[in-house]
Structure 1
Amino acid sequence: MAKEVITSDEQVVLGEEIGHVRLITLNQPRRLNVISSKVVSLLAEYLEKWEKDDDAELILIKGAGRAFSAGGDLKMFYDGRTSKDSCLEVVYRMYWLCYHIHTYQKTQVALVHGISMGGGASLMVPMKFSVVTEKTVFATPEASIGFHTDCGFSYILSRLPGHLGEYLGLTGARLNGKELVAAGLATHFVPSEKLPELEKQLISLNSGEENAVKSVIEEFSVDIQIDEGSVLNKRATMDECFSKETVEDIISSLEAEATQEGNDWMTATLQGLKRSSPIALKITFQSIREARKQILSECLKKEFRLTMNILRTVISGDVYEGIRAFTIDKDNSPKWDPSTLEKVEAEKLNLVFQPFEEDWELKIPIREDSRWEGKYEDSPYAPSK
């Protein structure tokens, strides 16, 4: 089969056209394949081109090196903190891209080896097939740095069994490959040593026919059994605690349950919650709860507003303080404002959820024949508008 490699100037994303297969490689291994503005633009460009190309049938995506993707480029956000809306374009493009990943019209397979966190996991979970290994590590740790569950994860987490979504979103707990399959966040578990051969076989298949793709993956996949100590085996207690109506009540419930035999796992959970940004915990909790009654487009529009309002420090600068403490200075001692859950005012919290004027909302395509419209450059945010 003819093989054409399409690269960007910086080669942060590689696009290969091999027969009817299209292969995307996130190509910043030293930076754990973080999602920068350039990455978002290239992903959107490739996916639009290939969805419209009748010759493209199967899309594969993987990460170079030891990570699939560690998520958004936090330094990019931090460096832009003093310039008004410096990251607006990449934020808009990312949410617009998330919609198209969720609704993509060709068969997609994510080959997930290593870290897959935050926005990086948004390139994995929505795929028709997401293949993980024993080296896969997943988390949505945004609340711990003063942010919120973004890139469609209020929608994704709200649809997990019971209140597992609230648990993952609020605590940033990590799941391994087997746990991801058990939780419904991945479709297949393949031992890491078999992943390169699986990729070769999918390319050799040269087809996007869904059942054929599934059959190839199943030749390599193995049945999973989660470890006895997995938090997924604590679901009854987890659901009891994380079903509460406020973050404060969740913490109180955890504190009460932590005294019971067999609940040692709650100690680390409580410590993590109490270290996280109070305002971020409240925003994340409300966003996931609202998402239970929202469709995908509503969730993405809401998350776009939340992201912009948080970056604009409408009610708090915690996101920049969190990035400073954990990524820039690495002193691990953020000074949150407000400093406790009790000091978070409901009226201020609601400010970040308020809809924008219609023209300034994220544009989600309504009709299938115009599904690639609504780009950033066509929005009123673009400099030429």
Structure 2
Amino acid sequence: MAQEIVKPDREDVVIAEEIGRVGVITINRPNQLNVISGKVGAGRAFSAGGDLKMFYDGRKTRDSCLEATYRMYWLCYHIHTYKKPLVALVHGMSMGGGASLMTPMRFSVVTENTVFSTPETLIGFHPDCGFSYMLSRLPGRLGEYLGLTGARLKGKEVVAAGLATHIVPSQKLVELEKRLLSLNSGDENAIESVIKEFSTDFEIQENSILNKMSIINECFSKDTVEEILMSFIREGRKQTLSECLKKEFRISNNILRRTISNDFYEGIRAIVISKDNSPKWWPTTLDEVKDEQLNLIFKNFEQHLELQISENNEHRFRSIIFNFSYMISSLYIYIISIKSSIPK
């Protein structure tokens, strides 16, 4: 019989549980759409990404968010390289940093209500948390398109693009979760077999952006002023995961330090704080951006603050972020490692 799922009645930002032989981690900030803060779902979103207000509030203190950023990048690396099966059940919005938790898992299950996006450029930031690695491996120039425009993909499109593995009707997620929790095996074939029982075949709609790949490939392969921006993703095609994460971490913190401009904080002000949706960028046009300024964004951080990712297998798969005893226990699987509350 499928095991009943006990939803903890707690206010913890991160809820960690062992249910049978399964580890379950829940980002529990439903009222904030599960945005990821320094402590890092429940509610109507998987995760709307990083806590932008946290970054904005710390803008006047140098490196106030460095630790939170560092931990997030470490978490992304562990999710990519973790040995045991990971499953994400993704209902609702999955954007930016939140999407980076979903995409690399062995099994990412979305629904018809899932919305995927990497909208960082809309607030003067860059696709981070491993997306220079993931977007660069999408078909054609789709990665450049998603990274630069922040365009949204819906459930079927997310799977068709290769950013999730299965789509399941939202009304079936509760039963799927119960079945996964009842498994007494960490065998990937057994996990996939259960998910396939609930998943559905699909066709993307005629007006889907994925049916316009020839246009995307044509537009985003040009040598234009924007080429320097696109090279960020294209370069990722030739880099390892750790190289991409180290590069992104350096860029992120140089932006947070306002190395060449205040655009990131201005973007947050316009979209999140004042909500006037009218950011006042500086420089105001791409023509005004000098190569010397861009070089500063890629400039090496102080060595002791660089992202330290060990390539040693003994250290590689053990979490140094969260003190969850079962992360190195004999549990078979981590079926739902990061999830949202599922609609009844």
Q: TM-score, normalised by structure 2?
A: 0.89
Aligned residue for 1:277? none
Q: Mark the CA change 1:225 to 1:4 in structure 2 (over 3 Å): closer, same or farther.
A: closer
Distance in 2 (alpha carbons) for counterparts of 1:2 and 1:347: 59
Distance in 2 (alpha carbons) for counterparts of 1:9 and 1:151: 28
Aligned residue for 1:78? 56
Amino acid of the residue matched to residue 90 of structure 2? V
Q: Does 1:35 align with 2:36?
A: yes
Amino acid of the residue matched to residue 18 of structure 2? E
Amino acid of the residue matched to residue 189 of structure 2? N
The one-character-per-residue Cα deviations of 1:179-237 (angstroms, maximum 9, x if unpaired) are 01100000001010011110011011132210000000000001120000000000011
Distance in 2 (alpha carbons) for counterparts of 1:23 and 1:98: 17
> Please, which of 76, 90, 101 is the counterpart of residue 123 of structure 1?
101
CA contact (8 A) 1:21 1:207 kept: no
> Please, which of 176, 181, 186 is the counterpart of residue 154 of structure 2?
176
> Please, which of 187, 206, 217 is the counterpart of residue 184 of structure 2?
206
Q: What SS class does the counterpart of residue 86 from structure 2 fall into?
A: strand
Residues 139-178 of structure 1 aligned to structure 2 (within 5 Å): 139-178=117-156
Aligned residue for 2:115? 137
CA contact (8 A) 1:113 1:192 kept: yes
Q: TM-score, normalised by structure 1?
A: 0.79
CA contact (8 A) 1:67 1:115 kept: yes
Segments of structure 1 that go 5 or more residues without pairing to the other structure are 40-62, 250-281, 378-385
Aligned residue for 1:238? 216
Aligned residue for 1:56? none
Q: What SS class does the counterpart of residue 105 from structure 1 fall into?
A: coil
How big is the shift at 1:13? 1.7
CA contact (8 A) 1:6 1:16 kept: no
How big is the shift at 1:247? 4.7
CA contact (8 A) 2:44 2:92 kept: yes
Q: What SS class does the counterpart of residue 82 from structure 2 fall into?
A: coil
Aligned residue for 1:195? 173
The one-character-per-residue Cα deviations of 1:298-352 (angstroms, maximum 9, x if unpaired) are 0000000000000000011100000000000001111000000111111110111
Amino acid of the residue matched to residue 108 of structure 1? L
Q: What SS class does the counterpart of residue 36 from structure 1 fall into?
A: coil
> Please, which of 238, 250, 272 is the counterpart of residue 305 of structure 1?
250
Q: Mark the CA change 1:3 to 1:133 in structure 2 (over 3 Å): closer, same or farther.
A: closer
Q: Mark the CA change 1:79 to 1:239 in structure 2 (over 3 Å): closer, same or farther.
A: same
Q: What SS class does the counterpart of residue 15 from structure 1 fall into?
A: strand
Q: What SS class does the counterpart of residue 37 from structure 1 fall into?
A: coil
How big is the shift at 1:355? 2.5
Amino acid of the residue matched to residue 16 of structure 1? E
Amino acid of the residue matched to residue 29 of structure 1? P
How big is the shift at 1:360? 3.0
Aligned residue for 2:259? 314
Distance in 2 (alpha carbons) for counterparts of 1:223 and 1:305: 41
Q: Does 1:351 align with 2:329?
A: no
Q: Does 1:220 align with 2:198?
A: yes
Distance in 2 (alpha carbons) for counterparts of 1:9 and 1:112: 21
- Percent identical pairs in the alignment equals 68
Structure of higher RCO (CA pairs closer than 8 Å, 6+ residues apart): 2
Q: Does 1:333 align with 2:334?
A: no
For these two proteins, the number of residue pairs brought into alignment is 321
Q: CA RMSD in A?
A: 2.2
> Please, which of 80, 100, 105 is the counterpart of residue 78 of structure 2?
100
How big is the shift at 1:6? 11
